[in-house]
Structure 1
Amino acid sequence: MSSPSATTVRVATRTSPMAMWQTRKCVGLLRAAHPHLTFETVPITSLGDRYHGPLADIGGKGAFVRALDQALTTGQVELSISCAKDLPSPHDRMPGVVIGGVLERDDARDALILPSGTPPTALGTLPPGSRIGTSAPRRTAQLRQLYTGFDAVPVRGNLNTRLTKLDDGSLGVDALLVAYAGMLRLDVADRAAEILDPTVWLPATGAGIVVVEHRSNDTAMHDLLAPVTHPATATALAAERATLATLHGNCTTAASVHALLHAATVTVHAAVFAPDGTRTVRARTTGPAEHPESVGREAAERLLKDGAAQLLPAPGRQS
Structure 2
Amino acid sequence: MNQDKNELFIASRRSHLAIAQADYVSKRLSLLNKTYQFSIVTADTLGDLVQSKPLYQFEESTVWTKELEKLMADGKCSMAVHSLKDLPTKLPDGFMIGAILERLDPTDALVVKKGLNYKCLEDLPEKSIVGTSSIRRIAQLRRHFPKLLFQDIRGNITTRIKKLDDPTSLYVCLILASSGLLRLGLKDRIVKRFESSILMHAVGQGAIGVEVKSDDIVAQDLVKPLNHMQTFLSCLAERSLMSTLQGGCSVPIGVETRFNGNLLRIESIIVSLDGMQSVTSNMSMEVLKEEDAIKLGTLLANDLIKRGALEILKNIKEYGV
TM-score category, normalised to shorter length:
over 0.9
**Pairwise CA distance, 1:174:** 1.4
Matches of 2:94 and 2:319 in 1, distance apart? Answer: 22
**Partner SS state of residue 64, structure 1:** coil
**Pairwise CA distance, 1:171:** 4.1
Output the amino acid matched with 2:72: L
Q: Decide whether aligned partners of structure 1 residues 170 and 159 sit closer, same or farther in structure 2, where only a CA change above 3 A counts.
A: farther
Matches of 1:279 and 1:111 in 2, distance apart? Answer: 24
Superposition pairs of residues 215-234 of structure 1, within 5 angstroms: 215-234=213-232
Matches of 1:103 and 1:33 in 2, distance apart? Answer: 14
| Counterpart for residue 34 of structure 1 | 33
Moved more, 254-263 or 151-160: 254-263
| Counterpart for residue 16 of structure 1 | 15
Matches of 1:302 and 1:123 in 2, distance apart? Answer: 32
**Pairwise CA distance, 1:194:** 1.4
Q: TM-score, normalised by structure 1?
A: 0.93
Superposition pairs of residues 164-313 of structure 1, within 5 angstroms: 164-289=162-287, 290=289, 291-313=292-314
Q: Decide whether aligned partners of structure 1 residues 316 and 294 sit closer, same or farther in structure 2, where only a CA change above 3 A counts.
A: farther
**Pairwise CA distance, 1:74:** 2.5
2:107 alignment partner, one of 91, 106, 109: 109
Q: TM-score, normalised by structure 2?
A: 0.93
Contact 2:136 2:251 in 1 (8 A): yes
* Structure 2: tracts of 5 or more residues without a match: none
Matches of 2:122 and 2:229 in 1, distance apart? Answer: 37
**Pairwise CA distance, 1:270:** 1.2
Q: Decide whether aligned partners of structure 1 residues 80 and 19 sit closer, same or farther in structure 2, where only a CA change above 3 A counts.
A: same
**Partner SS state of residue 139, structure 2:** helix
Contact 2:196 2:256 in 1 (8 A): no
| Counterpart for residue 149 of structure 1 | 147
Matches of 1:176 and 1:315 in 2, distance apart? Answer: 25
The root-mean-square deviation of aligned C-alpha atoms, in Å, is: 2.0
Contact 2:265 2:282 in 1 (8 A): yes
Matches of 2:231 and 2:319 in 1, distance apart? Answer: 29
Q: Does 1:75 align with 2:75?
A: yes
Moved more, 194-203 or 32-41: 194-203
Contact 1:48 1:61 in 2 (8 A): no
Contact 1:250 1:318 in 2 (8 A): no
Matches of 1:229 and 1:165 in 2, distance apart? Answer: 36
**Partner SS state of residue 99, structure 2:** strand
Matches of 1:293 and 1:269 in 2, distance apart? Answer: 14
Contact 2:118 2:124 in 1 (8 A): no
Matches of 1:304 and 1:79 in 2, distance apart? Answer: 36
Identity of aligned residues (%): 29
What is the count of residue pairs matched by the alignment?
Answer: 315
Q: Does 1:96 align with 2:94?
A: yes
Q: Deviations over 1:20-51 (max 9, x none)?
A: 01011111101101122111211111121121
**Partner SS state of residue 269, structure 2:** strand
| Counterpart for residue 138 of structure 1 | 136
* Structure 1: tracts of 5 or more residues without a match: none
**Partner SS state of residue 63, structure 2:** helix
Contact 2:56 2:135 in 1 (8 A): no
| Counterpart for residue 55 of structure 1 | 55
Matches of 1:4 and 1:298 in 2, distance apart? Answer: 46
Give structure 1 regions of 4+ aligned residues with deviation exceeding 6 angstroms: 314-319
**Pairwise CA distance, 1:169:** 3.4
Q: Decide whether aligned partners of structure 1 residues 130 and 81 sit closer, same or farther in structure 2, where only a CA change above 3 A counts.
A: same
**Pairwise CA distance, 1:253:** 1.1
Contact 1:11 1:81 in 2 (8 A): yes
